[in-house]
Copies of this chain bind each other. A is one copy, B any other.
Amino acid sequence: MSILRTPGGKRGRGRPRAGEDSARDAIVSAAEAEFAEHGYDGATMRGIAARAGVDAAAIHHHFGTKADLFTTVVDFPVRPDKALEEILAGPVDEIGVRLVTYLLVALEDKPTRRKAVSMVRTSLGNRAATPLLAGFLEREVIRKVAARIDGEDVDLRASLVGSQIGGLLIARYVLKLPALAKAPVDEVAARVGAAVQTYLAG
């Protein structure tokens, strides 16, 4: 399912009209330029609207939030930020296992996995792309986890949660370390969940 075709859940699956197509293209091009110039945090919906020659409401209509627009532009195959909203509403001690389970289950699907691997390769291999991914993860994932946990050094501990989950995805799907690449989702999720729990509990 392409995020582009169901932005923010506000559009159906029908073929868009020609005028909407060109407005969307203009917004995507403007967003690419704005994100490249100002980074994820620095980019604004108003700046993107000005570049595209549309008003900000048109962007919200076509794409939803800044996170929705960014993940469309960079073609994210999964939405950890969306999944997180629901996961964070549950018990803190299940954040790790639930987030890992969500990602691993999503990546069981081969086209999704291929897209995710490609995105990781590009983001880490390309000096310009890395800070964009980092900015998105920091703002939309890490800080939300940090806001949900108690105790000291919540930002550091949330960053370490991210480091383990990112490292897991790279080791399993990019490096394909044999024992990890073939382990069942529930076993990996249980073990990684327990490790991540040490960060969540502080």
A residues with CB within 8 A of B: 120-122, 124-127, 130-131, 133-134, 137-138, 142, 146, 153, 155-160, 162-168, 170-172, 174-180, 183, 187-188, 191-192, 194-196, 198-199
Contact = CB atoms under 8 A, between A and B. Distances in A.
Given A156-B191, A167-B171, A195-B198, 14 more contacts: A130-B175, A142-B179, A155-B179, A156-B179, A156-B187, A157-B191, A158-B179, A159-B178, A160-B180, A160-B191, A163-B168, A164-B168, A166-B171, A195-B195
Number of copies: 2
B163 A177 contact: yes
Given A163-B170, A167-B167, A198-B195, A177 B125 contact: no
A159 B134 contact: no
Contact of A196 (B165, B171, B195): B195
Contacts of A137: 175, 177
A165 to B, nearest CB: 7
Interface-centre pick from A138, A157, A174, A195 (highest chain B CB count, 10 A): A195
Nearest to A166: B167
Report the 3 A-B pairs with minimum CB-CB distance, sorted nearest first: A125-B125, A167-B167, A155-B179
21 contacts: A120-B124, A121-B124, A122-B125, A124-B174, A137-B177, A138-B177, A153-B179, A156-B188, A159-B171, A159-B178, A163-B164, A163-B170, A163-B172, A163-B180, A166-B171, A166-B175, A167-B167, A170-B170, A191-B199, A195-B196, A195-B199
